[in-house]
Amino acid sequence: MYNVLVIDDERMVRDMLQNALSRVDFTVETAENALGGIAKFDRGMYDLVITDIRMPGGDGHSVVHHIRRSKRQETPVIGVSGTPFLLQDSDFDDVLCKPFAIHKLIEKAQILTNA
């Protein structure tokens, strides 16, 4: 089983992603903002991080930059945003533009974790 960290300020999105990924045998933890997500990443071991870009108190770019400077810098990160221009020229391994089909997210998660 693979461990995934989902970071999004919208509870409905976090719950939907947790539910969908759990159904295909991922273990999912969530955080409601970038700072909480960074703290969880530093304490845990994750095979994949999925983060929203625009959140209050920090953004997905700060999350991916933190991960890329960490000891686990190879951890794959998927950036998710309703504003796709914010995803250009980034350090994300993959990106999804909202709204997206949940099967696309699952497919990307399985590819990036080799599940």
Cα separation of the two ends of the chain? 8
Quick one: pLDDT at residue 83?
82
If one compares 45 and 57, the residue with the highest pLDDT of the two is 45
pLDDT tens for residues 23-32? Answer: 999 999 999 9
The mean pLDDT value of the chain amounts to: 94
* In contact, 66 and 80? CB cutoff 8 Å: no
pLDDT tens for residues 49-95? Answer: 999 999 988 899 999 999 999 999 999 999 998 887 767 778 999 99
If one compares 86 and 43, the residue with the highest pLDDT of the two is 43
Quick one: pLDDT at residue 3?
98
